[in-house]
Amino acid sequence: MDTTPSERTGRELSPVGRGLILLGIWVAAAGAALAVVSYRSFDLDRFFVPKELALHAGATLIVISLAAAGWRAGATRVNVVLSVWLALSVISGFGAASGWHAVRAVELSLSAAALFWGATALRHAGRERSVVIALGAAVTLATASSLAQAYGFKLDIFAVNRAPGGTLGNRNFIAHVAAMGLPLLVWLSATARSSARALVGSVAILMLAAALVLSRTRAAWLALGIWAVIALPVAWARRDVIVPALAPRRVWLLGGALGTGVVLALLLPNGLDWKSDSPYLDSVLGVVNYREGSGAGRLKQYQNSFKMAAAHPVLGVGPGNWAAEYPGFAARNDPSILETNGMTANPWPSSDWVAALAERGAIATLGLIAFVGLLLLAAWRCWRDDSQPARERLGALAGGSVVLIGAIEGTFDAVSLLAFPSVILLGAAGALVPASDGSTVRWISGRARAYMTALGAVVWLVFVAMSTRKIQAMRLYTNGTYDAVRDAASFDPGSYRIQLRAAEVAAARGYCKLAYHNAMNAAALFPRAVAAQALVAKCAAAEK
């Protein structure tokens, strides 16, 4: 095993390897932006599962390519804290109440990390711009679907609630990725070598600005506001770096696109059914309102989640298990709990950081904080380094901006808990933030390379297969017949809805043993769910 400078070893990835990694990033980014199925019984998972499948499929290509080349990240601080976060997440999963929830959450974390390392490898190879183009295109495609829904275009795959969510199903999710995508598209457009490419980027910026206004998402607006307060003075203080890297009048083009998008969103009539006569003004005035409405609900949710974390301080309740455990720490009138079934309204808390602390424990959360902090520090150092080319320094500023915006959004909503935002966040960080020194890339030769390739292929193909089976289970469930529902339960043992329905149809036919089995599966997924508990008790009584 030998260590070589990153600038040289990055180029030792073969053209085929670099192409496959870039293809994997395109699959993960574009697939996570657009993939959705029309099974409306699964209002969340019909969006989430196809996007997770796209992420896992892209990560499979990346992992196999890196392993086949003998590439592995060295022990830099960023890689160490990311590895600690992942290792503790896996360990935490073994103690989770629901192993299926834990597996799904850990899968997403591992695939997102693989994408980060794939983007890092391409940055070492001088292909960071190609990565950012893939990410920017994916954000633009998702934003276009949101604008299409906002202005009356109807598709069966769009969700009626939380419009205009487009192919992401929720206007908040669109706003989160649009906010993170803005620095990427500004960097691409500002440093484009031709006016035509800059114009294409400006149109995309216009679309993102319009979607951000129409979303009325306070977390995204607040994140952009804080970012602007920090980033604009930083950029202005070193304008001697920016001006030489830009074509003439490029700043006016980008600023005009941003302003035009905001104005058009406010003036053009749309098909959104807001209850207020002044919806956008109300959202602006309510950005930091935590005394009533969703803000007050978040505070109560955070308080109860901290109680959960205090009860499980070391490893948390397990990745993905917040929803299973939260009802045990909440009062009856908690707005996060649905009175009809005793379950949480969402499968995750309204904060990445709260989720990390409650689900994976204090040590893992410190690792995540260190990871974000080291990325921001690396971006700042590169920006201040006069020995670096202007374009690389601008890229570091853009990458650091994405990390900062994502971290702020994640304070008030779920961001890195979802596939598509994770792709944008970690892809941008890997491609643009030089959070490494000259000895980050180690090359492994011989038999170890074959073992790594085989292991990576097996693990990530299992991830792909599990997500594929979830989609198949949704299709069977929608069929509605007894046999189809029973088959769906075997395809996806981690779906509460399917397990409960399988128990109900079996009980209706008098098959209490089968019904009890599926009801117990459902209760294991959400121990405090009223319907599952009732069905378990009914079937147990019938068997006596």
- pLDDT tens, per residue, the chain with 544 residues: 334 333 333 447 788 999 999 999 999 999 999 999 999 989 899 999 999 999 999 999 999 999 888 776 667 889 999 999 999 999 999 999 899 999 999 999 999 999 999 999 999 889 999 999 999 999 999 999 999 999 988 888 898 888 899 999 999 999 999 999 999 999 999 888 888 999 999 999 999 999 999 998 889 999 999 999 998 898 888 777 777 767 777 888 889 999 999 999 999 998 887 666 566 555 555 555 555 556 677 888 999 999 999 999 999 999 999 999 999 998 878 888 887 788 888 889 999 999 999 999 999 999 999 999 999 999 999 999 888 888 889 999 999 999 999 999 999 999 999 999 999 999 999 999 997 654 455 556 667 778 888 989 999 999 999 999 999 999 999 998 999 999 999 999 999 999 999 999 999 888 888 899 999 999 999 998 888 888 888 887 766 5
In a domain, residue 410? The reply is yes
Contact (Cβ atoms closer than 8 angstroms) between residue 47 and residue 159: yes
Structure tokens at 517: 């089995």
Last residue of a domain, one of 448, 463, 497: 448
In a domain, residue 179? The reply is yes
Structure tokens at 249: 């009048």
Same structural domain, 528 and 423? no
What residues pair up with 443 in beta bridges, in sequence order? Answer: 2, 71
Strands 441-443 and 71-73: antiparallel
In a domain, residue 502? The reply is yes
In terms of Cα–Cα distance, which of 481, 482, 478, 479 is closest to 514? 482
pLDDT value, residue 520: 93
Same structural domain, 508 and 443? no
pLDDT value, residue 441: 55
Q: How many CB atoms lie within 10 A of CB 120?
A: 30
Same structural domain, 10 and 103? yes
pLDDT value, residue 223: 94
In a domain, residue 238? The reply is yes
Contact (Cβ atoms closer than 8 angstroms) between residue 92 and residue 361: yes
pLDDT value, residue 5: 37
In a domain, residue 337? The reply is no
Same structural domain, 402 and 491? no
Same structural domain, 32 and 163? yes
Same structural domain, 123 and 173? yes
Same structural domain, 415 and 509? no
Last residue of a domain, one of 428, 448, 468: 448
Contact (Cβ atoms closer than 8 angstroms) between residue 132 and residue 184: yes
Q: How many CB atoms lie within 10 A of CB 450?
A: 12
Domain range for residue 496? 482-544
In a domain, residue 288? The reply is no
Last residue of a domain, one of 400, 430, 448: 448
pLDDT value, residue 378: 95
In a domain, residue 369? The reply is yes
Same structural domain, 357 and 416? yes
In a domain, residue 320? The reply is no
Specify the DSSP element, H or E, that contains 228.
helix 218-237
In total, how many domains does the chain have?
A: 2
Same structural domain, 527 and 393? no
Same structural domain, 503 and 406? no
Q: Where are the beta strands (DSSP E) in 305-451?
A: 441-443
Same structural domain, 219 and 263? yes
Contact (Cβ atoms closer than 8 angstroms) between residue 425 and residue 402: yes
Give CA–CA dist 148/139, Å, rounded.
14
pLDDT value, residue 55: 98
CA 306 to each of CA 186, 218, 403: distance values in angstroms, whole numbers, following the listed order: 38, 23, 25
Same structural domain, 431 and 538? no
* pTM of the full structure: 0.93
Burial class (CB in 10 A: 0-12, 13-18, 19+), 236: exposed
Contact (Cβ atoms closer than 8 angstroms) between residue 222 and residue 288: yes
